[in-house]
Structure 1
């Protein structure tokens, strides 16, 4: 493990996945964490976190991003103490609006709700998500699973507390506090890699992640088929 992305969802995690992939890293985002090591995560949720299990789960992975790794970044960092940590952040107002917009998109997408409710893989994702995102106050309801959020200020407080903890725990020489609008240079300087000769990626603008998954991700394609 070389890079742990500690930034919460909707702080540019999909953009960071694309950027790190472009830089040559093997990246596990939400779907990879579910599909390849989801059973390992569920085992740890039930039995408690063990360093040896975390090392085994991510022994061949260069970087992790998004849920559940943003929530349990500290447990991953304990297993890989030499990893660099990137805390992506953004202002609270735009972060909350983006989060609310994403959840509205998910709830209004009939095919996504059907596939999460009536397919074996979708039910597994549902249970997995229900276990790991309670820190955001999102609740699952059955059937046709939808999400609800707590009060805006409660969620913003979660974000503040999370970011303060990252800054407190990670040694300064291993931490980059970063906004994706800053582009390649600070990221590449921190990782000590050359700046690519191509534009910095910007993913999931307008909460289109479901469309991207349908186009690119075999797990999503399998669920909807």
Structure 2
């Protein structure tokens, strides 16, 4: 592993994901990849805690990890992959809180996401995973109806500060970059010892519309939507069969 992005969700992690791809990281595990490929391992970690050999197996061949749940376990990942660089994403905490709330509202209002989570094999089997991921920032995540109820402002801001302070205290300075998306390419490329690309620095998930972006570009989300359509076809056919049997019975 080359890079561990330790910034909390909504600190610019989707922008960093795109930037790292431009800089040559081919395999990046963000929230969708962890949910799709590693949800069983993460559910076990949420219950029992991580083991270094387990993390090494999970992320063998992965160039970078971004966002939750990896940002909560950055220290264990850094120990499992001692050559990896650590990037702490910074953001004004009030803007961060507002962005978290807006993101939750966007996810809660998406009927497509609700359908995927409620009526597909992928959605139903990931309930425990989603709860583990969202527990630090949400009250009773996933209840009712897969909703994310964001914790109060004081609690979330305390989480934000503690996360930042702990990384600053524990991460060795030669491995750590404290970074804001407004810093652009230069400090990031210098930290990773990579030439600055000749393209503008990206800006993703502006306006907390990441799910709609994923629907257009992320193959895992596209696969989830296809699975939903197949599931609904089955449910409609089953309902029609039951209605037919009831009508013929009487």
TM-score (norm 1): 0.95
The SS at the match of 1:177 is strand
Q: CA deviation at 1:142?
A: 4.3
The SS at the match of 1:82 is coil
Alignment of 1:81-120 (within 5 A): 81-120=82-121
Q: CA deviation at 1:27?
A: 1.2
- Which residue number corresponds to residue 152 of structure 1? 153
Indicate whether 1:19 and 2:19 are aligned.
yes
TM-score (norm 2): 0.86
- Which residue number corresponds to residue 39 of structure 1? 40
Contact 1:116-1:144 within 8 A present in 2 as well: no
The SS at the match of 2:18 is helix
The SS at the match of 1:176 is strand
Q: CA deviation at 1:68?
A: 0.4
Once the two structures are superposed, what CA deviation does each residue of 1:32-64 show, in whole Å capped at 9, x if it has no partner? Answer: 112222222223333432111111111101110
State how far apart, in whole Å, the 2-side matches of 1:99 and 1:121 are: 24
Indicate whether 1:9 and 2:12 are aligned.
no
Once the two structures are superposed, what CA deviation does each residue of 1:116-164 show, in whole Å capped at 9, x if it has no partner? Answer: 1111101233321102321213423445311111210110000000010
Supply the RMSD in Å over aligned alpha carbons.
1.3
State how far apart, in whole Å, the 2-side matches of 1:219 and 1:12 are: 21
Contact 1:28-1:63 within 8 A present in 2 as well: yes
Q: Quick check: 37-46 or 78-87, which moved more?
A: 37-46
Alignment of 1:136-151 (within 5 A): 136-142=137-143, 144-151=145-152
Gaps of 5+ in 1: none
